[in-house]
A and B are shown apart, each in its own frame.
Chain A
Amino acid sequence: MMRKNKGRQKIKMAKMKNESNLQVTFSKRKSGLFKKASELCTLCGTEIVVIVFSPGRKVFSFGHPNVDVVIDRFLNINPRHPHQNINLQLNEARQNYVVQDLNDHLAQVTEQLEVEKKRNEDLKQKRKDDKRSKNWWEDPVEGFNLRQLTEFKSGLKILKKKVTTEASKYLQATGHNFYFGSSSNAGFGTFDDDEGNNNSDLDLFNHRRLVGMKTFSCNHQNMIIPHPSTTPYGNAVIERFAPEHNQNKNQYCLKQERCECDHQPDPPPHFRHHYY
C-alpha cells in the first residue's frame, strides 16, 4: 500500500540541517502556529500577538485585535484596558460578530472539503478495486498500440454521438433553457471531428440555447430545480439549471398570463451519487 508521506516521526529539537526541508517546515509550522493563535482568540477571547521572522528575514505576524495595539501595550505605550469609550466597545462587539461569521463560514467550507476529499479517495479506491471488470480500454492511454488507439477512438466517437443525441432529445422534449455555458469549457456542441469540420448537428445545443433565451420567457415550466439536499455541488448546480433562481427576477411568465402555468417544478432529478 503506497503511502503519501512518511507519517509521524520523531524529530530532533535542533536547527534543521537540510535547507529546503527547513523552508518547508517553517512554512507548515508557521501556518499551524497562526491557526492555533486564531483558535485561542476565538475560543477564549484573549488578545494575542505572534511575530515570526522567516529564514529569509521576512516578517510574518498575527495579532488580535491587531498586532500594533498589543505591541504598544507591551511597550507600555497604552496601559492595560484603559477607559474604553463606547465607540471602541461597539467596534469590538461588531468585530466579534464578523469574526464569528467568518469562523462559521470556514467551518462549513472545511467540512465540505472533507467530504470531497473522502469522495476522491473512494473514487480512486473503487477504480483500483474494480479489477474484475477491467477492460483493456480502461488502462492508461499511453500503453495502447496504434490499433488499440484507433479502435478505442472509433468506439468513443460513436458513444459521443449517442450522448449528444440523448442530450438533444432532452432539449427537444422539454424545450427549456438548458444552459451549457460554464467557465470550464467552450461548449459541448461545438467540437470538431478529425477533419476539422465543425459538426453542425452538434451545434444544436448552442442554437437551442440562443433560441430558448428569446422564445421562452417562462422558465419555470419544466424547469428542474434541484432540491437543495440532493445537490452535492451546492449553488453551482442551481445556477446551471435554474439560473433565474439567482437572476432574472423580472422575468414574466407567458403562461401565467393565460392561467396555464402553475409554476410547479418537476420533481428533482435523481442524482446517482449518494453522498447526501
Chain B
Amino acid sequence: MTRQKVKMAYIENESSRKATYKKRKNGILKKANELATLCGVPVGVIIDSAYDLSPEVWPSREEMDKVVSQWQRLPVMDRTKKMLNQQSYLQQRISKETETCKKLTKENKELEMKEVMFDCLSGKTSPSRIEISDLRGCGNVIEQYLKNLKRRIEILSKNDGASSSSVHAAATTSAAMPIVEMGSSSTAFSDMIRQQQIQSNMNQTVRGLDLNQQQW
C-alpha cells in the first residue's frame, strides 16, 4: 500500500471517487468501532451517499436509535456546544495548527539566535556579520541569558556567602575580554577561561547534573 499524499478536494474522477468512498467508509466504521470498544462509550455513525441505496448506519439502526434518543434527551445547549460541521471543524483545526506553528517558529528563532550568540563568543563570527534582521533576536537571547545568569548568581551567592569575594576577583580579571577584538583569535576567550578554570579550585562542586540532558 503506497502512501501518497492526497489533495484534500473533491475527487473529480468518478471511479476514483467511488473507490475512495468505499475504502474510507470502511475505515471510518472500523475506527468508530475501535473508539467505542476501547473507551466503552456510545458511538453512532450515519453515512449517506449517492453510491449506496440506503444510508450506512453504524453500529445498527437499533443502536443508532438509542444513541439518537440519548442525544435528544440532552438539552439543546449541551448538544450544540460541541457540534461541528465542515466549516467550524476546519476553522478550529486551522487556528490550532497556526498557533502551534507560531510557537514553533518562535522557538526555532530562539535556538538559531542562541547559535549565533555562541558563535560570537567563540569567535566564529562577530556582531558585525550578524544579519540585520537577526540583531534584535540575538539581543533578546543575550538578554534572556543574562537574566538567567543573574538569577543563578543570586542563588549561588546566597548559598555560598563566603565566595562573594571571589566574584569580584573574577569580574576584574575578565575586564579585558578578547571578544572585544573583532575577528581576533577565535579561541582567545575560550582559552582564557579554560586557563582560569584549570587554575581555580577544582573542588568547587559543579552541580552534578547530567548536562547533556538539560535543556536550556
| Chain A residues proximal to chain B, CB less than 8 Å | 11, 13-16, 22, 25-26, 29-30, 32-34, 36-55, 58-67, 70-71, 73-75, 80, 95-96, 98-100, 102-107, 109-110, 112-113, 116-117, 119-120, 123-124, 126-127, 133, 135-160, 162-167, 170, 180, 184-185, 188, 191, 194, 224, 226, 232-233, 237, 241, 269-273
Across the interface, do B153 and A29 meet the contact criterion of CB distance under 8 Å? no
Name A48's closest neighbour in chain B (CB-CB): B47
Q: Once the chains are docked, how many angstroms separate the CA of A123 from the CA of B116? A: 12
Q: Point out the residue from A15, A80, A107, A137 that lies within 8 Å of B8, measured CB to CB.
A: A107
- 13 A–B pairs (Cβ distance < 8 Å), ordered by A: A29-B35, A34-B84, A36-B31, A42-B8, A45-B10, A46-B21, A48-B47, A106-B8, A113-B104, A123-B108, A151-B196, A166-B130, A237-B133
Across the interface, do A241 and B133 meet the contact criterion of CB distance under 8 Å? yes
B179-197 CB mask vs A (1 if < 8 Å, else 0) is 1100000000110011011
Across the interface, do B130 and A163 meet the contact criterion of CB distance under 8 Å? yes
Across the interface, do A155 and B55 meet the contact criterion of CB distance under 8 Å? no
Shortest distance from the beta carbon of A12 to any chain B beta carbon, whole Å? 9
Report B-chain residues with C-beta under 8 Å of the C-beta of A16. Answer: 38-40
Shortest distance from the beta carbon of A113 to any chain B beta carbon, whole Å? 5
Interface size for chain B: under 10, 10 to 19, 20 to 34, or 35 or more residues?
35 or more
Across the interface, do A154 and B21 meet the contact criterion of CB distance under 8 Å? no
Across the interface, do B121 and A137 meet the contact criterion of CB distance under 8 Å? yes
Across the interface, do B101 and A145 meet the contact criterion of CB distance under 8 Å? no
Report A-chain residues with C-beta under 8 Å of the C-beta of B209. Answer: 140, 142-143
Name B193's closest neighbour in chain A (CB-CB): A151
Q: Once the chains are docked, how many angstroms separate the CA of A194 from the CA of B143? A: 12
Residue among A34, A55, A109 facing the most chain B CB atoms (10 A cut-off)? A109
Across the interface, do B87 and A102 meet the contact criterion of CB distance under 8 Å? yes
Report B-chain residues with C-beta under 8 Å of the C-beta of A38. Answer: 86, 89-90
Report B-chain residues with C-beta under 8 Å of the C-beta of A25. Answer: 38-39
Report B-chain residues with C-beta under 8 Å of the C-beta of A166. Answer: 127-128, 130, 135
Q: Once the chains are docked, how many angstroms separate the CA of A119 from the CA of B111? A: 10
Across the interface, do A70 and B48 meet the contact criterion of CB distance under 8 Å? yes
Shortest distance from the beta carbon of B13 to any chain A beta carbon, whole Å? 11
Q: Point out the residue from A140, A150, A158 that lies within 8 Å of B171, measured CB to CB.
A: A150
B167 at the interface (CB under 8 A from A): yes
B15 at the interface (CB under 8 A from A): no
Q: Check A158/B177 contact, CB under 8 A, given A58-B82, A64-B85.
A: yes
Name A33's closest neighbour in chain B (CB-CB): B31
Across the interface, do A160 and B142 meet the contact criterion of CB distance under 8 Å? yes
Across the interface, do B86 and A102 meet the contact criterion of CB distance under 8 Å? yes
Residue among B106, B128, B135 facing the most chain A CB atoms (10 A cut-off)? B135
Across the interface, do A32 and B31 meet the contact criterion of CB distance under 8 Å? yes
- Nearest 5 pairs of A and B residues by beta carbon: A140-B214, A46-B49, A102-B90, A15-B40, A116-B104
Residue among B35, B64, B108, B193 facing the most chain A CB atoms (10 A cut-off)? B108
Q: Check A123/B111 contact, CB under 8 A, given A44-B21, A74-B55, A146-B166.
A: yes
Report B-chain residues with C-beta under 8 Å of the C-beta of A52. Answer: 35, 41-43
